């Protein structure tokens, strides 16, 4: 929202020495976000009043002229394309160095000396759109330059005067972030903002200027005869509706002061009546609407007009005043005559009932509408207007009356022939909770942590419009109506008022005192951190954060069935509507992307996944309904050029993790058909203490080829919630034996299907003297029969009570060979 | 014999000066000290042919000479060793600027993790318990329990991801419309209060979701870190004190904080917090948009309605809460100007941390 400094000053009673910057700073620290403080006409530097002394045709261009322009100091040769340029005209002359927008578009450019079709040009004769004045002086034709003699009484202004001064552009505009105003319905107009500013500067607000209305002369025959009948069908959605008919209207342009005010805050003047409604909205924060009485209602002559405030019928059509048709639903509130809707309540007027040049009688509406209904309507239809933006903040229904009175006053003032043609109808049904709220001073101090002087607290509240009485250390605070719609309702709200005006900067910082109880440890977070550190710092994996959402396209590409996945109702992009149940699809995407640039990709992610098949926490304290389970998963991916079995890279890293965690883990061959992407021959279930907590698998090579990845890829995934319950972190020291150990090797050939884990299991059972079995070589291929592999192990023998004799070791080692032959039909190739 | 000894001594000294390297030194050792044929050894052997006083006298002398020669020899040996080592050190000189080959690529933690760990540690050191909560939350905990009524704009579809009914609910209920992707970590306020009661000191790091179009500065999935304290005498001044500690921890002792009013339904008063821009020391720069301040957190005194929902006795207890956008802290810390890169999975990015 834009706020004009000059407009504000009318009401605040601040000394003239108060700068806009001071006001902005106070507002920022105590009230709202001021995003910009901009001086009007700051872009009009070096644009001055100039006189066109001579115009001749450009020798080389039909549409250009070569003009001589005097800027008070000297004559300049200027090439000009303006269609209306003529000798003796006073123009907006941009000197070299002035900033202009070429043809009214794009960024500002600094004028320099130029040669145009061979003729030198020292400056520019500007069109209104080229110097940001297009709204104030709209172009009548495309190539028209701004003719100052036509638009201003320019006689008093000498050549060379700054245009900004000539046009009275001496205002400063505050740009305020609308979001920061969302809980302050009272600040959506200059008067409300002035009240706030005055309070921040500890000044009393100037009373709103309005003439005492004469008691309405109901004896007037016309007024008596004219029945303006208002039916409000839903008083909850429309707590107040005021209307009045005014006759004798002559549509014209608004006076300069009004246009200037609207333009200053970015509104384009339209005509006197529309400008009045806009002015009231900007001044008092109360949106108003004017209907053309004759076009929509029975004419005044026919004596009766009926307006109904009702819910729209489902499917009812409505065309806005800018000509767009909408289909309404029963949740939308409309203003209607007997035939149809003439306005979408609180949002926008209808096309046919709008004010036009031929309008002679109007009906003003000053009403109040339910905030959430307005918000729903404007959101659903995508129609955000200055009016709906205000109504959806919960406006004060009391303000309708002041707004209506001011609108009538201005109308009578601006249209000399205007006459009030009806009674002022006022249909209302509302009640505001104005308290009083009890605010014990002790509570105030306890909450803020600093003693604010009682008188000061009372003064702060009073300046903001609260009525305060004190009773035995308790402030009884009555809420002004403009703060009572939703903003202020409890003592804490008042504490905020006092504290923010007192100044958050004036409240000292201090640290609370607590007993030195250590916080209870979050085991899962600790586990997560440990695993991250092991994987990144020991095994060289890089951590990634992927989105929790996954696209159906990716799932389809990976051959994953999306059935049963939890789905977003309103995804931000249509391509990612599911919640991930697994981390590896994302990791696979990461690998695919990075393999184009890196020879090796080792990544992991720890994050939540979503699974409707398992149960999560309760949806509320006393409900039996449970959220879907959201276990914390660890996912890994490995792919490297020339790494033929990336499976082992992952199993090695995971084994390292389990070892550090003190877990007994094993990788058990799995044969699940987990989808077409899985390499069936290279997948394992991860067991910790016998419980399955995850899986490792390679991606089928035909599939990775389709992904455009030419190296082998492995992924793994495990459930950290499950792992946590299995971690025992119980590493026990084994006394170092005083007796030497003896290491013997054995190499043998077995069927490829025989697993290492089975061999180790069997070998360890053979003899108590065997304390270690370590695989050190695996070979398949050339020189071996098909389907066979050769394995070589170091076997460590030791006793804890004596030095072993070599005969003992020989005997045990011989048994190793026999067991291998017997159990696995191994062919022992070499014993050492 | 005595003359013989003198001669050996003289020969030795002559020879020793000629020695230039280890080889010659060994020759010298052989010539004089060899057990079998060494000149000195020989003459010592002859001792046994003498008798009595002569033997004693000559023996003494011979031993003195032997000791003297050995000393000189040892010295010479040391000299040669030093000179030869010096040579080795020169020859074996390496290029210390060269990396080990083949190199080993280290792993990298995500920058968000680094910043989150740092803050988690700070808060646990101040006695805060770290909690984690569901990312898919009920509307009750995400909104109602936080004093955000049904028609509040925050509940708009533009701001919140809702879960489709088809998702099915774990308890078999069909009430899935009341599920959302949490829009903040604050649902854990009510959950923690209900579970642990007061007093309470909690910090909640976690992922949150906003339904908005993304660009360089906006992301629909971000990481937050939220903290809250509930105790008997907690006040606004304490909120300021704790935030001051955090700001100084993050950006140094000279950093100041500034609180400005900001409306959040679940706190009253509500503020947004700024810290002195650490890049320009408050002078004003591009990053702080010339203001000298960086907005980094939202905070406030917990609204009594929220405490009530959490089952806290509001006559006895009050509290404050605050939240940081971790993504923003990360971007400021490392000078990242594109928020989406945090979740791009691009190793060119991840390997920088």
Instruction: List Cβ neighbours of A688 (8 Å cut-off, separation of 6 or more).
Output: A658, A663, A664, A665, A722, A723, A726
Q: What is the distance between the alpha carbons of residues A552 and A549, in angstroms, rounded to a whole number? A: 10
Distance (Å) of CA A303 to CA A762, B225, B315: 108, 66, 62
In a domain, B157, yes or no: no
Instruction: List Cβ neighbours of B88 (8 Å cut-off, separation of 6 or more).
Output: none
In a domain, A241, yes or no: yes
Please answer yes or no on whether B113 and A612 come within 8 Å at the CB atom.
no
Residue at which a domain ends, from A701, A726, A751? A726
Interface probe with A: pick from B102, B106, B107, most Cβ of A within 10 Å: B107
Residue A693 near residue A687, CB atoms below 8 Å? yes
In a domain, A666, yes or no: yes
What rounded mean pLDDT belongs to chain A? 90
Please answer yes or no on whether A569 and B162 come within 8 Å at the CB atom.
yes
Which helix (H) or strand (E) segment holds residue B56: the answer is helix B52-91
CATH number at A111 reads: 2.40.50.140
Please answer yes or no on whether A572 and B213 come within 8 Å at the CB atom.
yes
What rounded mean pLDDT belongs to chain B? 89
pLDDT at A155: 61
Query: Which of B127, B240, B268 faces A517 most closely, judged by CB atoms?
Result: B127
Please answer yes or no on whether A620 and B130 come within 8 Å at the CB atom.
no
Q: Minimal Cα–Cα distance from B152 to chain A, Å?
A: 8
In a domain, A731, yes or no: no
Query: Which of A449, A492, A625 faces B235 most closely, judged by CB atoms?
Result: A449
Distance (Å) of CA A239 to CA A323, A332, A794, B81: 29, 15, 90, 106
CATH number at B256 reads: 3.30.930.10
Rounded mean pLDDT, A600-609: 97
B289 & B204 share domain: yes
pLDDT at B28: 86
Report residue A325 CA to chain centroid gap.
29
pLDDT higher than threshold 80 for residue A767: yes
Residue A799 near residue A741, CB atoms below 8 Å? no
In a domain, A499, yes or no: yes
Q: Minimal Cα–Cα distance from A520 to chain B, Å?
A: 6
A793 three-class SS: strand
Range of the domain at B71: 2-91
| Overall domain count for chain A | 6
Higher pLDDT, A105 or B295: B295
Give the residue from chain A lying closest to B110, CA to CA: A543
Chain B residues closer than 8 Å to A610 by CB: 135-136
pLDDT higher than threshold 70 for residue A301: no
Residue A485 main-chain phi, psi, to 5 deg: -75, -30
Q: What is the distance between the alpha carbons of residues A654 and A539, in angstroms, rounded to a whole number? A: 9
Which of A246-260, A758-772, B35-49 has the least mean pLDDT?
B35-49
DSSP β-bridge partners for residue A325: A319
pLDDT higher than threshold 80 for residue B157: no
Query: Which of B144, B235, B346 faces A448 most closely, judged by CB atoms?
Result: B235
A378 & A254 share domain: yes
At A186-207, the pLDDT tens digits run 999 999 999 999 999 998 899 9
B187 & B300 share domain: yes
Binding residues of A for Mg(2+), by number, are 487, 493, 496-497
Chain B residues closer than 8 Å to A569 by CB: 157, 161-164, 177
In a domain, B98, yes or no: no
Please answer yes or no on whether A568 and B163 come within 8 Å at the CB atom.
yes
B61 & B190 share domain: no
B125 & B60 share domain: no
DSSP-derived secondary structure for A175-219 = EE-GGGGTT-GGGSSHHHHHHHHHHHTT-PPPPP--PPPPPP-TT
- Of A544, A549, A545, A609, nearest to A573 by C-alpha is A549
Q: What is the distance between the alpha carbons of residues A540 and A598, in angstroms, rounded to a whole number? A: 14
Give the residue from chain A lying closest to B211, CA to CA: A572
Please answer yes or no on whether A507 and B237 come within 8 Å at the CB atom.
yes
Give the residue from chain B lying closest to A497, CA to CA: B269
pLDDT at B169: 42
A442 & A415 share domain: no
Please answer yes or no on whether A548 and B221 come within 8 Å at the CB atom.
yes
Helices (H), B92-180: 111-125, 139-142
B28 & B58 share domain: yes
Q: Minimal Cα–Cα distance from A566 to chain B, Å?
A: 4
Q: What is the distance between the alpha carbons of residues A530 and A524, in angstroms, rounded to a whole number? A: 10
Q: Minimal Cα–Cα distance from B221 to chain A, Å?
A: 7
At A524-583, the pLDDT tens digits run 999 999 999 999 999 999 999 999 999 888 888 888 888 889 999 888 776 678 999 999
Query: Which of A31, A579, A598 faces B347 most closely, judged by CB atoms?
Result: A598
Q: Is B77 an interface residue toward A (CB < 8 Å)?
A: no
Q: Minimal Cα–Cα distance from B237 to chain A, Å?
A: 5
Q: Which residue has the tokens 């979503």?
A: A610
**pLDDT band at residue A22, thresholds of 50, 70 and 90?**
very high
Please answer yes or no on whether B110 and A544 come within 8 Å at the CB atom.
yes
Q: What is the distance between the alpha carbons of residues A118 and A664, in angstroms, rounded to a whole number? A: 89
What is the separation, in whole angstroms, between the first and last Cα of chain B? 82
Query: Which of B136, B140, B257 faces A630 most closely, judged by CB atoms?
Result: B136
B45 & B116 share domain: no
Please answer yes or no on whether B135 and A630 come within 8 Å at the CB atom.
yes
| Overall domain count for chain B | 2
Chain B residues closer than 8 Å to A594 by CB: 345-347
Q: Minimal Cα–Cα distance from A385 to chain B, Å?
A: 16
Q: Minimal Cα–Cα distance from B60 to chain A, Å?
A: 51
In a domain, B142, yes or no: no
In a domain, B6, yes or no: yes
pLDDT at B177: 52
Q: What is the distance between the alpha carbons of residues A806 and A742, in angstroms, rounded to a whole number? A: 9
pLDDT higher than threshold 70 for residue B25: yes
Percent of chain A clearing pLDDT 70 (strictly above): 96
A107 & A191 share domain: no
Chain B residues closer than 8 Å to A500 by CB: 261, 269
DSSP-derived secondary structure for A540-609 = --EE----SEE-HHHHHHTT---TT--BBSS-SSTT--EEPS-SHHHHHHHHHHHTTT-SEEEEEEEEE-
A459 & A497 share domain: yes
In a domain, B144, yes or no: no
Helices (H), A394-477: 399-414, 441-448, 454-463
A397 & A260 share domain: yes
Q: What is the distance between the alpha carbons of residues A647 and A716, in angstroms, rounded to a whole number? A: 9
CATH number at A825 reads: 3.30.70.380
**pLDDT band at residue A831, thresholds of 50, 70 and 90?**
confident
pLDDT higher than threshold 60 for residue B167: no
CATH number at A272 reads: 3.50.40.10
Please answer yes or no on whether B220 and A620 come within 8 Å at the CB atom.
no
pLDDT at A298: 55
B44 & B127 share domain: no
B321 three-class SS: strand
Residue at which a domain ends, from A470, A505, A540? A505
Query: Which of B104, B112, B169 faces A540 most closely, judged by CB atoms?
Result: B104
Residue at which a domain ends, from B91, B123, B144? B91
Interface probe with B: pick from A513, A545, A546, A587, most Cβ of B within 10 Å: A545
Please answer yes or no on whether B237 and A509 come within 8 Å at the CB atom.
yes
Which of A293-297, A376-380, B83-87, B250-254 has the least mean pLDDT?
A293-297
Chain A residues closer than 8 Å to B181 by CB: 548, 568
Query: Which of B162, B262, B342 faces A545 most closely, judged by CB atoms?
Result: B342
In a domain, A249, yes or no: yes
Residue A8 near residue A194, CB atoms below 8 Å? yes
Rounded mean pLDDT, A437-464: 95
Binding residues of A, by number, are 487, 493, 496-497
In a domain, B164, yes or no: no
Chain B residues closer than 8 Å to A593 by CB: 345-346
Residue A343 near residue A266, CB atoms below 8 Å? no
Residue at which a domain ends, from A395, A428, A461? A428
Please report the residues numbered 22 through 51 in chain B whose beta carbons come closer than 8 angstroms to any beta carbon of chain A.
none
Instruction: List Cβ neighbours of A467 (8 Å cut-off, separation of 6 or more).
Output: A436, A477, A478, A480
pLDDT at B170: 42
Q: Minimal Cα–Cα distance from A508 to chain B, Å?
A: 6
In a domain, A674, yes or no: yes
Q: Report ipTM for this prediction.
A: 0.85
In a domain, A489, yes or no: yes
Q: Return the number of CB contacts < 8 Å for A and B.
A: 274
pLDDT at B172: 40
A399 & A456 share domain: no
pLDDT higher than threshold 50 for residue B173: no
Interface probe with A: pick from B119, B182, B347, B350, most Cβ of A within 10 Å: B347
**pLDDT band at residue B176, thresholds of 50, 70 and 90?**
very low
A339 & A418 share domain: yes
In a domain, B78, yes or no: yes
pLDDT at A810: 93
A413 & A450 share domain: no
Instruction: List Cβ neighbours of A242 (8 Å cut-off, separation of 6 or more).
Output: A365, A366, A367, A400, A401, A404, A424, A425, A426, A427
Q: Hey, CA dihedral for B297, B301, B305, B307, is it positive or negative?
A: positive
Instruction: List Cβ neighbours of A192 (8 Å cut-off, separation of 6 or more).
Output: A186, A284, A285, A482
Q: What is the distance between the alpha carbons of residues A603 and A640, in angstroms, rounded to a whole number? A: 12
Give the residue from chain A lying closest to B103, CA to CA: A540
Please answer yes or no on whether B138 and A620 come within 8 Å at the CB atom.
yes
A256 & A355 share domain: yes
Residue at which a domain ends, from B24, B56, B91? B91
Q: Is B222 an interface residue toward A (CB < 8 Å)?
A: no
Which of A43-52, A563-572, B106-115 has the least mean pLDDT?
A563-572
Q: What is the distance between the alpha carbons of residues B225 and A631, in angstroms, rounded to a whole number? A: 20
Please answer yes or no on whether B127 and A519 come within 8 Å at the CB atom.
yes
Q: What is the distance between the alpha carbons of residues A390 and A499, in angstroms, rounded to a whole number? A: 26
Please answer yes or no on whether A532 and B350 come within 8 Å at the CB atom.
no
Rounded mean pLDDT, A718-734: 87
Which of A120-134, A316-330, B152-166 has the least mean pLDDT?
B152-166
Which of A183-197, A491-505, A543-557, B194-208 has the least mean pLDDT?
A543-557
In a domain, B45, yes or no: yes
Range of the domain at A406: 221-428
A690 & A718 share domain: yes
Query: Which of B141, B169, B236 faces A620 most closely, judged by CB atoms?
Result: B141
Rounded mean pLDDT, A807-815: 92
In a domain, A514, yes or no: no
Please answer yes or no on whether B268 and A448 come within 8 Å at the CB atom.
no
At B288-326, the pLDDT tens digits run 888 899 999 999 999 999 999 999 999 999 999 999 999
CATH number at A15 reads: 3.30.56.10
pLDDT higher than threshold 90 for residue B327: yes
Q: What is the distance between the alpha carbons of residues A342 and A293, in angstroms, rounded to a whole number? A: 11
Query: Which of A446, A511, A589 faces B241 most closely, judged by CB atoms?
Result: A511
Distance (Å) of CA B69 to CA B43, B44, B75, B77: 14, 13, 10, 12
pLDDT at A782: 84
Query: Which of B105, B112, B261 faces A545 most closely, judged by CB atoms?
Result: B112
Joined tokens for residue A519: 């916080």
A424 & A442 share domain: no
A176 & A156 share domain: no
């Amino acid at each position: 929202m834009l706020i004009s400094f000059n407009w504000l000053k009318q009401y605040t009673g601040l000394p003239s020495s108060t700068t806009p910057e001071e006001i902005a700073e106070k507002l920022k620290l105590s009230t709202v976000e001021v995003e910009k403080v901009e001086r009007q006409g700051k872009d009009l530097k070096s644009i001055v009043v100039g006189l066109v002394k001579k115009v001749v045709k450009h020798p080389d261009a039909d549409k250009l002229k070569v003009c001589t322009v005097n800027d008070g100091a000297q004559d300049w040769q200027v090439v000009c394309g303006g269609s209306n340029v003529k000798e003796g005209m006073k123009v907006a002359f941009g000197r070299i160095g002035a900033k202009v927008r070429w043809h009214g578009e794009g960024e500002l450019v600094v004028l320099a000396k130029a040669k145009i079709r061979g003729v030198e040009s020292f400056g520019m004769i500007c069109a209104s759109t080229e110097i940001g004045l297009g709204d104030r002086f709209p172009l009548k034709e495309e190539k028209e330059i701004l003719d100052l003699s036509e638009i201003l009484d320019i006689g008093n202004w000498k050549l060379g005067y700054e245009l900004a001064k000539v046009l009275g552009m001496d205002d400063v505009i505050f740009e305020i972030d609308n979001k920061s105003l969302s809980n302050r319905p009272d600040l959506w107009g200059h008067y409300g903002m002035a009240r706030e500013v005055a309070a921040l500067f500890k000044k009393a607000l100037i009373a709103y200027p309005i003439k005492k209305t004469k008691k309405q002369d109901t004896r007037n025959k016309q007024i008596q005869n004219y029945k303006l009948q208002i039916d409000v069908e839903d008083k909850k959605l429309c707590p107040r509706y005021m209307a009045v008919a005014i006759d004798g209207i002559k549509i014209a342009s608004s006076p300069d002061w009004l246009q200037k005010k609207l333009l200053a805050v970015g509104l384009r003047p339209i005509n006197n009546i529309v400008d009045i409604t806009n002015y009231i909205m900007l001044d008092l924060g109360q949106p108003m609407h004017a209907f053309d009485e004759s076009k929509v209602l029975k004419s005044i002559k026919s004596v009766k007009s009926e307006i109904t405030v009702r819910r729209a019928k489902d499917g009812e059509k409505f065309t806005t005043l800018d000509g767009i048709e909408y289909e309404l639903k029963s949740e939308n509130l409309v203003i209607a005559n007997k035939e149809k809707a003439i306005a979408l309540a609180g949002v926008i007027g209808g096309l046919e009932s709008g004010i036009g040049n031929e309008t002679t009688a109007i009906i003003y509406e000053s009403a109040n509408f339910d905030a959430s209904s307005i918000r729903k309507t404007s959101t659903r239809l995508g129609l955000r207007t200055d009016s709906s933006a205000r109504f959806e903040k919960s406006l004060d229904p009391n303000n309708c009356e002041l707004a209506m009175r001011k609108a009538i006053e201005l109308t009578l003032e601006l249209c000399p022939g205007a006459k009030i043609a009806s009674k002022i109808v006022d249909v209302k049904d509302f009640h505001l909770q104005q308290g009083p709220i009890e605010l014990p001073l002790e509570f105030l101090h306890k909450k803020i942590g600093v003693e604010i002087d009682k008188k000061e607290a009372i003064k702060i509240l009073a300046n903001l419009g609260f009525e305060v009485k004190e009773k035995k250390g308790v402030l009884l605070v009555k809420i002004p109506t403009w703060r009572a719609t939703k903003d202020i309702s409890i003592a804490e709200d008042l504490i905020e008022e006092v504290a923010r005006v007192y100044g958050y900067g004036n409240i000292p910082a201090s640290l609370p005192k607590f007993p030195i109880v250590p916080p209870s440890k979050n085991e899962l977070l600790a586990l997560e951190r440990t695993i991250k550190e092991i994987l990144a710092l020991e095994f060289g994996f890089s951590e990634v954060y992927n989105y929790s959402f996954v696209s159906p396209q990716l799932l389809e590409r990976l051959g994953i069935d999306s059935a049963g996945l939890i789905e977003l109702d309103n995804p931000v992009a249509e391509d990612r509507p599911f919640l991930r149940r697994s981390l590896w699809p994302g990791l696979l995407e990461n690998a695919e992307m990075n393999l184009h640039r890196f020879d090796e990709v080792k990544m992991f992610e720890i994050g939540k996944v979503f699974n409707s098949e398992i149960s999560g926490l309760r949806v509320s304290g006393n409900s039996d309904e449970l959220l879907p389970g959201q276990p914390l998963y660890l996912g890994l991916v490995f792919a490297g050029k020339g790494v033929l079995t990336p499976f082992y890279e992952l199993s090695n890293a995971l084994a390292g993790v389990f070892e550090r965690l003190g877990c007994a883990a094993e990788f058990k061959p799995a044969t699940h058909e987990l989808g077409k992407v899985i390499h069936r021959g290279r997948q394992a279930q991860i067991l910790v203490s016998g419980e399955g907590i995850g899986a490792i698998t390679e991606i089928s090579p035909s599939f990775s080829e389709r992904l455009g990845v030419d190296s082998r890829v492995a992924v793994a995934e495990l459930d950290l919630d499950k792992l946590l319950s299995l971690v025992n972190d119980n590493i026990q020291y084994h006394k170092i034996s005083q007796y030497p150990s003896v290491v013997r090797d054995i190499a043998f050939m077995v069927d490829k299907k025989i697993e290492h884990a089975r061999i180790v299991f069997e070998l360890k059972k053979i003899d108590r003297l065997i304390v270690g079995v370590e695989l050190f070589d695996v070979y398949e291929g050339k020189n071996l029969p098909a389907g066979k592999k050769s394995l070589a192990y170091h076997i460590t023998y030791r006793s804890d009570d004596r030095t072993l004799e070599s005969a003992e070791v020989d005997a045990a080692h011989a048994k190793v060979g026999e067991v291998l032959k017997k159990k696995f039909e191994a062919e022992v190739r070499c014993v050492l | 014999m005595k003359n013989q000894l003198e001669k050996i001594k003289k020969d030795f000294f002559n020879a020793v000066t000629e020695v230039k390297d280890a080889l010659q030194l060994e020759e010298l050792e052989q010539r004089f000290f060899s057990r079998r044929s060494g000149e000195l050894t020989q003459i010592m052997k002859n001792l046994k042919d003498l008798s009595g006083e002569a033997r004693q006298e000559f023996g003494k002398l011979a031993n003195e000479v032997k000791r003297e020669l050995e000393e000189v020899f040892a010295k010479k040996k040391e000299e040669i060793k030093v000179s030869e080592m010096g040579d080795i050190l020169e020859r074996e000189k390496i290029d210390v600027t060269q990396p080990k080959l083949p190199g080993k690529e280290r792993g990298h933690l995500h920058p968000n993790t680094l910043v989150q760990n740092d803050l988690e540690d700070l808060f646990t050191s101040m006695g805060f318990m770290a909690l984690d909560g569901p990312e898919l939350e009920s509307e009750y905990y995400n909104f109602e329990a936080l004093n955000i009524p049904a028609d509040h704009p925050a509940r708009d579809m533009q701001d919140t991801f809702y879960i489709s009914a088809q998702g099915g609910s774990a308890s078999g209920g069909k009430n899935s419309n009341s599920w959302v992707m949490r829009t903040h970590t604050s649902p854990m306020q009510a959950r923690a209060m209900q579970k642990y009661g007061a007093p309470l000191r909690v910090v909640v790091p976690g992922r949150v979701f906003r339904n908005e179009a993304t660009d360089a500065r906006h992301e629909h999935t971000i990481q937050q870190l939220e903290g809250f304290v509930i105790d008997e005498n907690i006040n606004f001044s304490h909120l300021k004190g704790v935030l001051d500690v955090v700001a100084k921890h993050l950006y140094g002792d000279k950093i100041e904080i500034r609180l400005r009013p900001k409306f959040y339904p679940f706190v009253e008063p509500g503020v947004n917090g700024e810290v002195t821009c650490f890049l320009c020391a408050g002078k004003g720069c591009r990053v702080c948009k010339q203001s000298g301040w960086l907005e980094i957190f939202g905070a406030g005194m917990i609204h009594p309605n929220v405490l009530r929902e959490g089952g806290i006795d509001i006559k006895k207890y009050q509290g404050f809460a605050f939240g940081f956008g971790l993504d923003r802290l990360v971007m400021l810390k490392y000078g990242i100007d594109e928020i989406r890169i945090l979740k791009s999975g691009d190793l060119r990015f991840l390997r920088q941390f």
